[in-house]
Structures are given as C-alpha cells and as structure tokens.
C-alpha cells in the first residue's frame, strides 16, 4: 500500500440522520470507500435524531460491520442543530467534516475541500451550492435569511447553510458553546462565532442533487420559527449582555 496516497492524516466524519432508512446505507457505503483512500485514520459518527422509521435498526447493523463507525442516538428528536452539535462535540480527530445523509451531496468532493484547505491554510472550508436542487421559494428564503445574518452580524458568505463543511477541531474547542437546537441557525451560529474568534473561513463550490427518497424537514414552520428565535437570541446576547 502506498502511504502517500492519503490526503489527510485523521478525519472525523458525521452524518445527521432523521428518517433516512432509504438513503443512509448508500451514503455510508460511498463514504467508507472514499475514506479508505483519503484518510489514514477516520471515524464515522451516525447521529440518529429520534428517527421514527427503521433508521435506528439500520444504523446499528452498519456500525456492527465496521469498528470505525459509531451511532449516537437522540431520543426523542431534537432537531438538525442538536444533531450537528452531537457530531461536532463527539468527534475525536483534528479535522471534522459533515454532510447530509440523504444523498443530496457527493461525499467524494471532500477531496476538493481538503485540497482547498491545504492551499489556503483555512480553519473552515465551507461549501456553496453549484446549483441548489430545491424549490425556488426555499432558495429565496435562504437568501433572505442570509441577508438577516449579514445585516445583524456582518457575516457575508455565498451560502450560509450549505450542508458540507470541513472544520478544524480547534475551532469547535475554542469558540463559545453552540446553542441552536431545532432550527437551521446552527450553521450561521458556527460561522459567526468562528469568524468572531478570528478563524479563517474559505468557500468552495459543491454539487447538489435532488432528494430521491425520504422527506425534507427544513421547511416546517416550527423549524423556521426556531431558527429565527436562535438568530434573535444570539444577536441580543452579542449586543446587550455581558
């Protein structure tokens, strides 16, 4: 085996999963294939966030096939932000990456993110969508959200909530504790806190595909309201409390 084939020494990968029985096996199999040729040492954390379908049983089986794969379970469901926090705070290696478990991203593009990190020495390499495969109203909603984050926090990125990122673990260890649970604010919160702590963020285009199986939850009203509450809470804390 050629030891120089690897692009990175140690990498933690995690996938947030909510009712992904039809997608998760393919997602993990693809990721393992990529990791075997990309990282010398790696782990995959599968975060089951109180799924109501067969996801828990499937995750258990997958984790029994490979000692590098672990399942973290929330019961009941806490939300996307909470799932991301479980992944970020339980990852053990110096670099952490995550993406969706529903097949909407191509995990092999992690190689591009690693290359970009090496070229720029960034602390966070964050994706932006090269053509996001969701309905137009969702793209407009995201742009509005992105403007609110720019207006309130001065953070300007191409896609505030693109679900593919590579992060130095040091960022997670050093920024103030992440608080978002239910809503989509977690991605903004992470970037706002990382930028404020002086970490370098660079962006890279990633492919996006339509969801072919399962259901998206990001457009539910309670999820959107929770996101706005988190946004206002952090803005208030940043500006008015010590």
Ligand X SMILES: Nc1nc2c(ncn2[C@@H]2O[C@H](COP(=O)(O)OP(=O)(O)O)[C@@H](O)[C@H]2O)c(=O)[nH]1
Binding residues vs Mg ion (CB under 5 A)? 100, 102, 104
Tokens 């403007």, residue located: 147
User: Residue 101 binds what, of ligand X, Mg ion, none (CB under 5 to 8 Å, by partner type)?
Assistant: ligand X
Q: How far is CA 16 from its chain centroid?
A: 8
CA dihedral 208, 211, 217, 219 (to 10 degrees): 60
Reported as type and span, the H/E element at residue 43 is strand 39-49
Query: What's the min distance (Å) between Cβ of 227 and ligand X?
Result: 12
Q: x/- binding map, residues 170-199, to ligand X, per CB under 6 A?
A: ------------------------------
Tokens 């206002």, residue located: 232
Altogether, the residues listed in the chain come to a count of: 242
In eight-state DSSP terms, residue 176 is P
Contact stretch for ligand X (CB under 6 A) within 13-21, 106-114, 199-207, 228-236:
13-21
Judged by CB under 6 A, the residue of 6, 14, 18, 185 near ligand X is: 18
- Cα separation, 91 vs 85, in Å, equals 10
Q: x/- binding map, residues 73-112, to ligand X, per CB under 6 A?
A: ----x-xx--x----------------xxx-x--------
Any contact of residue 164 with ligand X (CB under 6 A)? no
Query: What's the min distance (Å) between Cβ of 58 and ligand X?
Result: 13
Any contact of residue 59 with ligand X (CB under 6 A)? no
User: Residue 202 binds what, of Mg ion, ligand X, none (CB under 5 to 8 Å, by partner type)?
Assistant: none
Q: How far is CA 92 from CA 1, 172, 181, 227, in A?
A: 25, 11, 22, 28
Query: In this complex, which beta carbon is closest to ligand X, that of residue 38 or of residue 86?
Result: 86
Task: State the greatest distance between any 2 C-alpha atoms of the chain, in Å, as a whole number.
Answer: 57
């Amino acid at each position: 085996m050629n030891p120089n084939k690897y692009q990175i020494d140690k990498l933690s990968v995690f996938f947030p999963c909510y009712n992904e029985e039809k997608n998760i096996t393919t997602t993990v199999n693809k990721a393992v294939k990529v990791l075997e040729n990309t990282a010398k040492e790696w782990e995959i954390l599968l975060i089951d966030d109180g799924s109501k379908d067969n996801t828990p049983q499937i995750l258990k089986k997958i984790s029994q096939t490979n000692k590098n794969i672990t399942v973290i379970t929330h019961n009941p469901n806490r939300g996307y932000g909470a799932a991301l926090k479980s992944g970020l705070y339980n990852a053990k290696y110096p670099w952490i990456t995550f993406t969706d478990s529903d097949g909407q991203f191509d995990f092999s593009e992690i190689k591009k993110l690693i290359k970009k990190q090496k070229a720029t020495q960034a602390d966070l390499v964050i994706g932006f969508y090269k053509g996001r495969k969701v309905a137009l109203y969702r793209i407009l909603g995201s742009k509005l959200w992105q403007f609110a984050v720019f207006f309130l926090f001065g953070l300007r990125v191409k896609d505030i909530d693109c679900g593919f990122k590579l992060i130095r673990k040091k960022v997670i260890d050093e920024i103030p504790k992440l608080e978002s649970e239910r809503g989509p604010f977690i991605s903004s919160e992470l970037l706002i806190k990382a930028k404020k702590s002086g970490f370098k963020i660079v962006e890279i285009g990633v492919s996006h595909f339509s969801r072919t199986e399962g259901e998206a939850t990001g457009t539910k009203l309670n999820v959107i309201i929770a996101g706005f509450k988190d946004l206002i809470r952090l803005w208030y804390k940043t500006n008015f409390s010590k």
